[in-house]
Amino acid sequence: MSPRRTETGGRIDRLRTIRFTFDGAPYTGHIGDTLASALLANGVTLFGRSFKYHRPRGLLSAGVEEPNALVTVLSGEVREPNIPATMVEIYDGLVAVSQNRNPSLAWDIGAVNQLGGKILSAGFYYKTFMGPVFGPLKGTRFWMFCEHFIRRAAGLGKAGTAPDPARYERMNAFCDVLVVGSGPAGLMAAKAAADQGARVILAELEAHFGGSANWSGETIDGMLAADWAQRTVGQLEGNDNVRLLPRTTVWGYYDGNTLAALERVTDHKEVAAKGEPRQRYWAIRAGTVVLATGSFERPLVFPGNDRPGVMLAHAAERYAVEYGVLPGQRIALFTNNDSAYRSAVALKKAGAAVVAIIDVRGDVSTEMRRLASEAEAELLAGHAVVATEGGKALTGLKIQRFDAMSGALSGDERSIHADSLLMSGGWSPTIHLASQAGAKAEWDPARQAFLPPTPTQRWIGAGAFTGSFSTAEAIAEGRAAGLQAAGGAASSAPVPVVEAAPGDPDPAPVFEIKAKGKSFVDFQHDVTADDVRLAHREGFVSVEHLKRYTTLGMATDQGKNSNVPGLAIMAEALGKPIPEVGTTRFRPPYTAVSIGSLAAERFGDLKPERLTPMHDWHIANGARMYSAGLWYRPMIYGLPGETVEQAYVREARATRGSAGIVDVSTLGKIAVQGPDAAEFLDRVYTNTFSTLAVGKARYGLMLREDGLAFDDGTTWRLGEQEFLMTTTTANAGKVMQHLEYFLDVIWPELRVTVTSVTDEWAGAAIGGPNARAILASCVTGTAVDNATLPFMGIAHGQIAGVPVMICRLSFSGEMAFEVYSGAGYGTRVWEALIEAGKPFGLVTYGLEALGTMRIEKGHVTGAEIDGRTTARDLHLDWMLSKKKPFIGSAMMDREGLIAPDRLELVGLIALDNRPLSGGGHIVEQLDEANPHHSLGHITACCYSPALGKYIALALVKGGKARHGTRAFVSDPLRNRFGPIEIVSNHFYDPDGSRMHG
């Protein structure tokens, strides 16, 4: 048995030994132990090093608020840093290491910072490191030089770089009543609500339900509180309406009574079951929330209060009662309130010697005196601890007479030999979630604590959360809250009877003992009482300034230990009551929450993949895929040994030479249907669609309300009241929302429905001089000649036994057809077209060749319709109807949109016959060393097999007026400079004779 383990007691299983390592050394513990309790049982006193001074630190607490004992848990290559040892349940094979020390926890060179002492006071960074004004370290250089070392010295644990193999999941849950916290109040609330038939979720952040019932030693309903808790949990377990969530921290209270919780599903297990997530992120929508979150015990601020061996009183009680571990053999307690007396008795019962109870109050009640003598402790009323002794473990302490009213110390120091000092500075209700929910906490001068605000969302408080620190109150409030939350009537049935030690819930208003030496307020960040006073001296007096200037409350415990003492010290310095210093509003999360859990199922899978019907065919046939938004599209179908440029040039050349086929299924497609469909399109497009004949298509342009170009595409009239609109791939969703907005909000009188049919249709565009011949050889049910299928005509037929819709339109500039079939037939039709094209040397082509041919034609896409260009900029003003208003028509002629210096679409030819790059800029005068005076930029470029040149589209100031002039490409980022000629964007077949056939 370990040196500090008691023979009996606690919920650990002494028969089952667990082996783990800490900093490489092997240790054993028992089932039911936390890493903290197991190490404590092994006599470990040194758990961590503080942030700034690297001071040795031991355990302060037994729960989530632990600021000192932070460890990194290793699992193979994967690291989980900054976990409080108090929250790690041990399992066989657990590997934990300490942090922020070099080379070891016992010998840490960072501790030299302690010599800096008063120089490293609050705010010292702001006052130095500015460096020289002249010379090689001017500007920011000196600071950055210093910062390099500061950064390496700072920081707690080390993050891993190996991808985390664990699974994280999200769960959306709905309930009538969410109970947060499972102490006596929470258990009663859950039970009462469940008995009313409500859907209840009970969340407990620790591994075991019961909260303080697990260690209070009190009696409820005639049985030990811990047994009562277990019985109640058993009753809840049997109820179908109840979901019990142990190891689940409710960390966020969001709008709409939506709460976020983190369940640690497998962190305590050696191995997870197949498919089991490591952590589950619960997004809970609750009808009503019962907040039964309890309270935190506060440390006292006095010199040496950070020495390993100084611990919160109730934490020691928990270690003794729940884990069967004594924090020391000779224990002293230091308190400003009654609760520590119960702790003393509990520790005495567990087998420790309680040498003294030092109480700042001169006047201690008879009941407490009785408890002190029950603990066989010397009661030193009207005294205070003024120093602690020892190195990496406590050896003793010094006390003096103390006057609680004035804070004055008097008399001689007296030494007390002790290896454990327990402190209690009063209790702060855990009001974080209520504060997150949107309201301000209120200071209660009797309790010396912030109490929960008036609810701004649907929650009800119960127990210590409300400042009702006795178990009897907790049980009564819990039941009332549960009933109210479930909509039940108040019950007159008797509540369970509680037998508990007496105690006054109100502490003496003493937070700090002012004596010589460093007194810590924020343990992890090494913020001392003097730092708080320095902040006051320098004018950083509001609570937010205090936090930000000293970093008080910014450590991983988020001020759970330091918030109130820090405020109290500032209030005293200001001579104002605490609430006038301000209250911190708490924000999510209540405790730190893993990023993996928040990414949940999207960890490793950020976005779904959107696939066309022919996707598998493309992959099987050597396509290199290109990610376009969520879609995957073939970029090239490369042959072995081909470069990308060689591949697209081959594909484009073959298309213009004979025929090529490309998958265009990703184009946005919207069914526009109804009696007013044509009228609607007239309003939406800049050009007219009501005049379009059934069976014909037309190219259309849309503007935004502000008059800038929005999107373009062809729209096909399939029937009198039925249109098929196509959009660019990228804008499909935006166009859909645009149309829906106008139909729903602006013109509700129009009888039109719009439906996304993008996924209904597979689309293949086949173009080139032989495209028609290929079609003719495989299409049945319709002719494809000029008469049946003129330019922009639509025909219906079959390919490979399935219906197809064919529209003769061209993006490539060749005689071309878009063949649409039901998506489930997409591959079948595609393969039939490929088969039919074999005699003609039909090639498949990808986005690169598609882009090349469109650049040759001077068509615009998203690179040119980039949200900043007008129809005129793009030479599409011929599409702006003057006969009717349309969206954007009133706004498109404003001063700034017709200014002469706007960027206009042009073509470019590289005169040095070298490749151009998208994003290169255009200048009149080349200055490679100091590029300046950009005229515009390249939006798209390629090698044009049709022209035998490197060409580009560009947006250039003065645009058209520069046709035929020379300029330079200036691309300093890629060191590409050279002469170009500015030409029309219509490089190839400008009169369109090839596509008109």
Residues 384-443 that bind other proteins (CB under 8 A): 436, 438
In this chain, which of 184, 186, 217, 277 binds other proteins, going by CB under 8 A? Answer: 277
937 forms part of the interface with other proteins (CB under 8 A): yes
CB of 790 to other proteins, least distance (A): 25
863: left (phi over 0), alpha (psi -120 to 50) or beta: alpha
Of 694, 700, 736, the C-alpha closest to 719 is: 694
In this structure, what token pair is assigned to residue 939? Answer: 């939006």
Residue type at position 574: L
Residue 86: CB minimum distance to other proteins, A: 15
- Considering only residues 232 to 271 of the shown chain, the ones binding other proteins according to CB under 8 A are 252, 254-258, 260
Q: Which residue do the tokens 């409350």 mark?
A: 553
User: For other proteins, which residue of 65, 89, 108, 164 counts as binding (CB under 8 A)?
Assistant: 164
First to last CA, the chain: 95
- Residue 896 found at the interface with other proteins (CB under 8 A): yes
x/- mask, other proteins, residues 61-90, rule CB under 8 A, reads: -----------------xxxxx--------
Q: Does 147 bind other proteins (CB under 8 A)?
A: yes
Q: Does 600 bind other proteins (CB under 8 A)?
A: yes
Q: Does 157 bind other proteins (CB under 8 A)?
A: yes
Q: Hey, what long-range contacts does 526-533 have (CB within 8 A, 24 or more apart)?
A: 526/50, 526/51, 526/52, 526/53, 526/55, 527/122, 527/551, 527/552, 527/562, 527/566, 529/301, 529/569, 530/121, 531/121, 531/122, 532/122, 532/566, 532/569, 532/570, 532/573, 533/569, 533/573
Binders of other proteins among 170-229, rule CB under 8 A? 170-174, 199
Contact with other proteins (CB under 8 A): which of 17, 104, 128, 691?
128
Based on the shown chain and the rule CB under 8 A, indicate whether residue 166 belongs to the binding site for other proteins. yes
Nearer to other proteins, 781 or 992 (CB): 781
Window of 331-339, 382-390, 506-514, 621-629 that interacts with other proteins by CB under 8 A: 621-629
Cα distances from 628 to residues 50, 376, 731, 866, 927, in angstroms, run 49, 76, 11, 16, 36
Binding of residue 154 to other proteins (CB under 8 A)? yes
Amino acid (1-letter code) at residue 780 = T
Cβ atoms < 10 Å from Cβ of 534? 19
Order of all β-strands in the sheet with 394-402: 383-390, 394-402, 409-417
984 binds other proteins (CB under 8 A): no
Asked whether the beta carbons of 472 and 490 are under 8 A apart, the reply is no
CB-nearer residue toward other proteins: 496 or 553: 553
| 932 interacts with other proteins by CB under 8 A | yes
Candidate ranges 132-140, 417-425, 446-454, 956-964; the one touching other proteins (CB under 8 A)? 132-140
Our measurement of the distance from residue 165's CA atom to the centroid of its chain's CA atoms, rounded to an integer in Å, reads 19
Print the binding letters for residues 862-881 with other proteins: x by CB under 8 A, - otherwise: -x--xxx-------------
Neighbours of 373 (CB within 10 A): 12
Q: Quick one: CA dihedral 496, 499, 502, 507, positive or negative?
A: negative
Selected from 788, 925, 934, 965, the binder of other proteins by CB under 8 A is 934
Contact with other proteins (CB under 8 A): which of 42, 111, 160, 946? 160
| Torsion over CA: 576, 579, 582, 586 (sign) | positive
Beta strand pairing call for 794-799 and 802-807: antiparallel
Q: How many CB atoms lie within 10 A of CB 544?
A: 11
The residue (of 492 and 975) whose beta carbon lies closer to other proteins is: 975
Q: Are 830 and 818 in contact (CB under 8 A)?
A: no
SS3 434: helix
The residues in 664-683 that bind other proteins, with binding defined as CB under 8 A, are: 671, 673-675, 683
Residue 499 vs 740, nearer CB to other proteins: 740
For the bound state, the minimum distance from the C-beta of residue 544 to other proteins, rounded and expressed in Å, comes to 6
Q: What stretch of H or E contains 853?
A: helix 847-857
Structure tokens at 102: 């070099």
Out of 599, 911, 946, 983, the only residue in the binding site for other proteins (CB under 8 A) is 599
**Least Å from the CB of residue 121 to other proteins:** 5
Residues of this chain, 302-341, that bind other proteins according to CB under 8 A: none
How many residues touch other proteins under the rule CB under 8 A: the total is 180
The first and second tokens of residue 913, run together, are 């016959």
Binds other proteins (CB under 8 A): choice among 3, 43, 155, 979: 155
Check binding of 3 to other proteins (CB under 8 A): no
Q: Minimum CB separation from other proteins for residue 124, in Å?
A: 6
Asked if 612 interacts with other proteins (CB under 8 A), we say: yes
Tell me: does residue 745 bind other proteins (CB under 8 A).
yes
* Cβ-based nearer residue to other proteins, 382 or 822: 822
Any bridge partners for residue 783, and if so which?
none
Q: Environment class of residue 748 by beta-carbon count within 10 Å: exposed (0-12), middle (13-18) or buried (19+)?
A: exposed
Considering only residues 564 to 593 of the shown chain, the ones binding other proteins according to CB under 8 A are 587-589, 592-593
Residue from 580, 601, 877, 912 that binds other proteins (CB under 8 A)?
601
Under the binding rule (CB under 8 A), the answer on residue 548 touching other proteins is: yes
Q: Which of residues 704-723 bind other proteins (CB under 8 A)?
A: 704-708, 721
Supply 658's token pair. 């004979």
Kindly tell me which residue out of 26, 539, 575, 948 binds other proteins, with binding defined by CB under 8 A: 539
**Binding flag, residue 900, other proteins (CB under 8 A):** no
**The one segment of 168-176, 332-340, 489-497, 765-773 that binds other proteins by CB under 8 A:** 168-176
Alpha helices in 671-770 (DSSP H): 677-684, 732-741
Closer to other proteins at the Cβ: 127 or 576?
127
Distance between CA atoms of 813 and 987, rounded to whole angstroms?
11
Rule CB under 8 A: is residue 133 a binding residue for other proteins? Answer: yes
Smallest separation (angstroms) from other proteins to the CB of 765: 18
Answer yes or no whether residue 454 interacts with other proteins by CB under 8 A.
no
The alpha carbon of 4 is separated from its chain's Cα centroid by a whole number of angstroms, namely: 42
Which span (207-215, 329-337, 367-375, 752-760) binds other proteins, by CB under 8 A? 752-760
Cβ-proximal residues to 323 (8 Å cutoff; 6+ apart), any chain? 10, 11, 12, 32, 33, 34, 37, 40, 41
Decide: is 126 part of the binding site for other proteins (CB under 8 A): yes
